[in-house]
Amino acid sequence: MIKDQIDSNHISKFEKGLNPFYPEKSLIPAKIIGYGEMSTIFVIDTPGHEGLAYKRMPIFLNSAEMKNYELLFNEYNTLLSSIGLDIPAFASVMVIPDKGNMVIYNAQKRLPSKSICNALIHDIDDASIKTLILLVLREMKKVFDYNAANPGNEFGIDGQISNWAVEGWTEGVEITDTTGLFYLDTSTPLMKKGGREQLNSELFLRSTPSFLRWVIRLFFLKEVMNRYYDFRKVIIDLIANFHKEQKSEMIPGLVETANRFLTEECRGFGIAPLTADEIDDYYKEDALIWRIYLAFRKIDRFLHLKILNKPYPYILPGNIKR
């Protein structure tokens, strides 16, 4: 268990000396290894931590919120494993600073950077990319098979290509029908019980600018969270990622791969075929929303630091190439 190799006192010292604007200039330096839309993935640059990747969650106001999230995080990882998804070794560490929001650090065994599929797709040929996408679709189907058999008690999953990694990766690895995959993005534990979402969505609104919070809550939050329970929308998001990864030329072929998968392996779901045009339209809208959202978060950071003279606790993504 990686929990045993994490020094919680060291994590507390890291948090105390963290520079969210320049993590690499923190008292204990951090090395950024990846950006998501909502979070930054980094390693702590000290001996003993090289084999771990961290996500920092500074979104809690009290210990009850922290405990509820940690329980759900552990349950989500365990249950995804129980239905056949492979999850890298994981742990979480609570940090309660002297002042400011309480923080949970989610830790995960660090995998070779080239094994992460958004990097891998730039090193393999088109046929192998199609095989890789088919493998991802089959992994995601395990979630939606479970959901279909357990109405009201479902999992959500974010299937984008950067959330998958090839097991046993080596230089020059061949992607075949038997290649294994890890699922990486377990820090947003979307689960429903009795039809009710278990994850407190208000936690994630806290990282949004206060002047946008009511708009997001009213018009976007429910739709954004529910999309991860919709198999068709998850597939659309997966393929649309190839615009972001500068592999747009692959999209028509991947639409064919997905439609063949839906016809041959998912007939019982009754999912309508995809089209390249709707993938393009989805991505244009999604990319615009995230550009605007990140711009407002940067404005919010400026207001905190320069106008209100208050600390800004979140690490914002760098410029994401689209």
The number of folded domains in the chain is 1
Q: Is residue 89 part of a domain?
A: yes
Is the pLDDT confidence value at 321 over 70?
no
Confidence band, pLDDT 50/70/90 cuts, at residue 38: low
The parent domain of residue 66 ranges over 2-109
Q: Does 100 have pLDDT greater than 80? A: no
Using 50, 70 and 90 to split pLDDT, how confident is the model at 132? very high
In a domain, 57, yes or no: yes
What global pTM score does this model have? 0.92
pLDDT of residue 210: 83
Closest by CA to 80, choosing from 186, 220, 197, is: 186
User: Is the pLDDT score of 278 beyond 80?
Assistant: yes
**What average pLDDT does range 122-132 have in this prediction?**
97
Domain membership of residue 54 (yes or no) is yes
Residue 137 lies in a domain: no
In a domain, 22, yes or no: yes
Query: What is the distance between the terminal CA atoms of the chain, rounded to a whole angstrom?
Result: 37
Q: Output the six-digit token pair for 277.
A: 């045009």
Round to whole Å and give the CA distance between 132 and 269: 22
CA–CA dist 98, 82 (Å, integer): 38
What average pLDDT does the segment 17-35 reach?
88
Residue 205, pLDDT > 70, answer yes
> What number is the average pLDDT over the span 310-316?
87
Q: What average pLDDT does this structure show over 274-297?
A: 91
User: SS in 3 state form for 283-316?
Assistant: HHHHHHHHHHHHHHHHHHHHHHHHHCCCCCCCCC
pLDDT at site 4: 78
In the predicted model, is pLDDT for residue 1 greater than 70?
Answer: no
Average pLDDT over the chain reads 91
What CATH number is associated with residue 49? 3.30.200
Instruction: Name every residue whose Cβ is closer than 8 Å to that of residue 16 and which is 6 or more positions away in sequence.
Output: 27, 97, 98
Mean pLDDT, residues 103-130 taken together: 95
| pLDDT reading at 37 higher than 80 | no
Q: How far is 181 from 163, CA to CA, in rounded Å?
A: 10
* Percent of the chain whose predicted confidence (pLDDT) is above 90: 68
Does residue 257 lie in a domain region? Answer: no
> Lowest-confidence range among 37-41, 99-103, 304-308?
37-41
86 belongs to a structural domain: yes
Selected residue with higher pLDDT from 176 and 42: 176
- R_g over Cα of the chain: 20
Residue 91, domain member (yes or no): yes
Query: Residue 159: pLDDT above 70?
Result: yes
- 134-145 pLDDT tens trace: 999 999 999 999
Say what the pLDDT of residue 172 is.
Answer: 87
CA-to-CA dists, residue 123 to 33, 70, 134, 181, 236, angstroms: 18, 36, 17, 17, 23
For residues 231 and 61, the model is more confident at 231
- pLDDT, tens only, 239-259: 999 999 999 999 999 999 999
- For range 74-93, the mean pLDDT: 96
